[in-house]
Chains A and B, each alone.
Chain A
Amino acid sequence: MKTINLETQTVRDLNQALHDQSTKCTEREWEVLEPKGQHNIACGLDQNLAVDIKGHAGYFCAGMNKKAHITVHGNAGQGVAENMMSGTVRVKGDASQAAGATAHGGLLVVEGNAAARCGISMKGVDIVVKGDVGHMSCFMGQAGNLVVCGDAGDALGDSLYEVKIYVKGSVKSLGADCIEKEMRDEHIHELTELLNRAGVDEDPASFKRYGSARELYNFKIDNASAY
């Protein structure tokens, strides 16, 4: 295992060392010490590595991740795992706003709460939050799944495309074009898989499913006067 201490080395040193593994992998296990809320830790990885960040991370941690498995042993700032393509990002504490924003693939697990706009414009990532999510979560979500084991804030799934949202707790309000949908066997099956992958022990039958009413997909000429 290789250890990098961010008190003595820069985030740029760390990220360069991790990027170098994409062409020739010499070390699979990495440990990052003293992150102290610095931004852009472990961004742009493109190799099957395990990276353990021992403390709180700042903005955009694990952004653009591909293949790597990154764990934050603390809280993460804004935009954790933004634009992730594949791999896994796990936050042991809370995540700030826009967790998993625009992410295309992979799995993001937040063991605490996620703040506002979790999964904004997500494009295929699976996000599992053990706690609550803030307002405007999954705004314009296009593809993938958002699982919330706690409660969801205002305007969940506003202007939603095809993300499937599963919430166990209460939903403060649904956003435009987001509706509750029937929980069929295939959804129980899918949710069971998601919870298993995330290592979260919850009963899939206790969740409700929300999705797009698909009323905003096309411009309606009758609404022209509203613009």
Chain B
Amino acid sequence: MCGIVGLYLKNKALESRLGELFTPMLIAMTDRGPDSAGFAIYGDEVADGSVKLTLHHVDESYDWGALARLMQQSLACAVEWFQNSKVAVFKVQACAEAATAFIEEHAADVLVLSAGQSIEILKAVGLPESIAETFNLPAMQGSHIIGHTRMATESAVTMEGSHPFSTGQDLCLVHNGSLSNHNRLREELQREGVEFQTENDSEVAAGYLTLRLQKGDSLNQALESALNDLDGFFTFTIGTRDGFAVLRDPIACKPAVLAETDDYVAMASEYQALTTLPGIEDAKVWEPEPETIYVWEREQ
């Protein structure tokens, strides 16, 4: 069992309160996922031609400044950075490929959690409440956010095995359910060059989407093929630069509820996670249909 929550703001005036509105949603799903939690927040965009990386190191006293200086010299570009617990956000005036290749080459013990112009992925092992506190989630601002509380069933409880999983630039996936064909699918994806860090089934779904998108599929096409190629139970929420998407498998055992007002669209595994949102009493609340792709995106 796991919990999923997502909040997409239609009303820009609420963007300064995104973290504050989202924190109780994440904590409300502790019953469904007490072993680890994470979230992907979108906002604070870097300009075209720049990239934002969320980087993780097991040692909280890791010298991010030294890494940033080395990067600045090697790539001959400006690098701004800030640290949040064991994670650092690097804003680099270079393309994502060059920036991630630099990390792989010069800091093999640093894990790239996300890359893009808007996305930041933060996750850790522990109770959702303590993770929200560690990263100071209530103070965060942005346009939209998706989160996950994990109760591991298929693989170990580790930071690497927790959600969200990056699936490409500004894209990520959270999953409630279990996939039954993930071992064979992982092998197939590895043959095509996709790399995996864990034995986790959800990471395979993320890798699958990453490959489809790399091959030129639109998000809708990639999700439609996922319905054919992924065997098992899933409710997915996919974060994109401009919004989020929700998809349930054809059997639809794993729960999902959506709510919409003039101010926001919210998604959760259970309605309980939505009760603290303003105006929820009068929101349109419904259960998404199986095998149906729901997408909310702002226009650029």
Mark A residues whose CB is within 8 Å of B: 36-38, 55-56, 58-59, 75, 77-78, 93-94, 96-97, 115-116, 134-135
Contact = CB atoms under 8 A, between A and B. Distances in A.
Contact of B275 (A37, A59, A75, A115): A37
B252 A37 contact: no
Given A75-B286, A116-B252, 11 more contacts: A36-B275, A37-B270, A37-B272, A55-B281, A59-B270, A75-B271, A97-B252, A97-B253, A116-B290, A134-B290, A135-B250
8 contacts: A36-B271, A37-B271, A55-B281, A56-B271, A56-B285, A58-B271, A78-B255, A96-B257
Nearest to B281: A55
B227 to A, nearest CB: 14
Contacts of A38: 272
A115 B252 CA distance: 10
A58 B270 contact: yes
Contacts of B247: none
A75 B285 contact: yes
Nearest to B276: A36
Contacts of B289: 134
A75 to B, nearest CB: 6
A59 B272 CA distance: 10
A56 B271 CA distance: 8
Nearest to A136: B251
B187 interface: no
Contact of A77 (B252, B270, B275, B290): B270
B287 A115 contact: yes
* Majority-rule SS of B interface residues: loop
A75 B274 CA distance: 13
Contacts of A135: 250, 252, 290
Interface string B20-54: 00000000000000000000000000000000000
Nearest to A34: B275
B201 to A, nearest CB: 23
B286 A94 contact: yes
Nearest to A97: B252
A58 B257 CA distance: 11
B58 to A, nearest CB: 37
Nearest to B273: A37
Nearest to A115: B287
Contacts of A134: 252, 289-290
Contacts of B270: 37, 58-59, 77
B191 to A, nearest CB: 35
Which residue, of B270, B281, B287, has the highest number of chain A Cβ atoms within 10 A?
Answer: B287
A117 to B, nearest CB: 9
Interface string B259-273: 000000000001110
Contacts of B287: 94, 96-97, 115
A58 B272 contact: yes
A34 to B, nearest CB: 9
Contacts of A96: 255, 257, 287
A5 B253 CA distance: 31
Contacts of A93: 285
Given A96-B255, A116-B252, A37 B274 contact: yes
Nearest to A38: B272
A94 to B, nearest CB: 6
